[in-house]
Structure 1
Amino acid sequence: MERIRMKGFGEEPAVKSHLVGALRIPAHLIVPVMFLSLLLMTACTVQGPASSGEISKQEAGQKRDAKEITRPRVSELKPVRIDYLRPVEDILDPQIFIYKDKRRLYVMDRGVLVRNYPIGLGNNPKGDKMAEGDGRTPEGRFYICLKNPRSKFYKSLALSYPEKKHAERAFMAGLLSPTQYRDIILALERGVQPPWDTPLGGEIFIHGGGAQGDWTDGCVALYNSDMRELYTMADLGTPVIVRP
């Protein structure tokens, strides 16, 4: 094979003529063009891929954009529907929500707020119930486990207190025996009344008698007219959520 010695950059006239024929570049411009090409290739090599910091920023920006896409906008949030005039007999799937700090009891029926009652609490209303006699209204997720149409306070609905978290906390603290703990958990799994004769206490009701203040021993008190409605619409197993 013929050896080619390039002048300046080692390029022979034969190569020049070949390049000139193929690219139609004047012979006197070939060397500058090649020099410019080498500079461009070097620049691309020096720039290289994005650094890890830049990649992290890009990924963070992509994640943020994804969150903004999936997060509902305020204008897209659906307001709670309210229907306080819905007849009691038409409230078919009630859920009871009690907000201690607001002193309110709300009844939801399939996503619609149908009742809003004032309430009174235990005489020591702050915090979750810890033991019998502390005067606190318990917090958590319960269900109606007993209905009493002839309560001392007009009518009453019993809550499934203590719930699992109360039992676990008391058992770990040594307040409950293994048998007591087991009996509470089994009752909750069966959806029946849990034991009320443990150090955790029991007999926590929603009942009548008035919502004029915090006067109960840990129960939730309503005015009798409101209790009459709630007693009619609630059944055994109706969920009750009590929040601080």
Structure 2
Amino acid sequence: MIVPLSGRSGLLLALLLGSAARAGPPDDALDPSRVAGATIASVLVEKAARRLTLLDADGRAVRQYQHIQLGREPLGPKRFEGDGRTPEGHYTIDFGNPTSAYYLSLHISYPDSRDRAFAAAAGRKPGGAIFLHGSPNGFSQRPAGDWTEGCIALDNREIEEIWALVPDDTPIDILP
């Protein structure tokens, strides 16, 4: 019996089959055996440490990714559209976008009501369209340094793994 794959896992399988060179785990990840069968309950981003960690329901690290890249102005929380900063706070990864301008993107629920109120009080827009994502389409590697408009960029093989492991509605905490 053939069971069709759909959604994120089907896309990931197609990507992995077409790209065996990226099949290995990230160099700086935790023990790969912890990923097998793991259910990811939350995501933790530590901006200053340049680290993204996938956590299980007990708060244990299942996988870590070092050297993440942030908005072009990495210090401080995102406040306004165009400020080039990455948000800080508690959000949700609410959907995946396999056809974005960046290799596989997972949307972060910024702005929340507090972010909108802060921006409105200043007569500004809070911005939006904040994602975890890979390289710009057509490029196999990320640009150097902090280059996004506020997103969190990873290597393409890292976002492939995160895409497969992190379901919609997963909480994400972004710390300074």
Which category of TM-score, normalised to the shorter sequence, fits these structures?
0.7 to 0.9
**Alpha-carbon deviation of 1:154?**
1.1
Distance of aligned partners of 1:237 and 1:211 in 2 relative to their CA distance in 1, 3 Å threshold: farther
* TM superposition score normalised by structure 1: 0.53
- For 2:80 and 2:172, locate their aligned partners in 1 and report how far apart those are by CA, in whole Å: 20
**Deviation by residue 1:58-77 (Cα, 9 ceiling, x = unmatched):** xxxxxxxxxxxxxxxxxxxx
User: Which residue of structure 1 lines up, in the alignment, with residue 69 of structure 2?
Assistant: 120
Q: Is the 8 A contact 1:97 1:242 kept in 2?
A: yes
* Bigger Rg, which one: 1
Q: Is the 8 A contact 1:140 1:163 kept in 2?
A: no
* TM superposition score normalised by structure 2: 0.73
Deviating above 6 A after TM superposition, structure 1's stretches of 4 or more consecutive aligned residues are none
Bigger relative contact order, structure 1 or 2, given CA contacts below 8 A and separation 6+? 2
Higher percent of residues as helix: 1
**Alpha-carbon deviation of 1:93?**
3.2
Asked if residue 108 in structure 1 is aligned to residue 60 in structure 2, the reply is no
**Deviation by residue 1:204-225 (Cα, 9 ceiling, x = unmatched):** 0000113842111110000011
Q: Percent identity at matched positions?
A: 41
User: Which residue of structure 2 lines up, in the alignment, with residue 93 of structure 1?
Assistant: 40
- For 1:89 and 1:143, locate their aligned partners in 2 and report how far apart those are by CA, in whole Å: 23
User: Which residue of structure 2 lines up, in the alignment, with residue 220 of structure 1?
Assistant: 152
Question: Gaps (5+ residues) in structure 2?
Answer: 1-28, 136-141
User: Which residue of structure 2 lines up, in the alignment, with residue 9 of structure 1?
Assistant: none
Question: Gaps (5+ residues) in structure 1?
Answer: 1-81, 176-198
User: Which residue of structure 2 lines up, in the alignment, with residue 238 of structure 1?
Assistant: 170
Asked if residue 207 in structure 1 is aligned to residue 139 in structure 2, the reply is no
Over aligned residues, Cα RMSD in angstroms?
A: 1.9
- For 1:173 and 1:122, locate their aligned partners in 2 and report how far apart those are by CA, in whole Å: 21
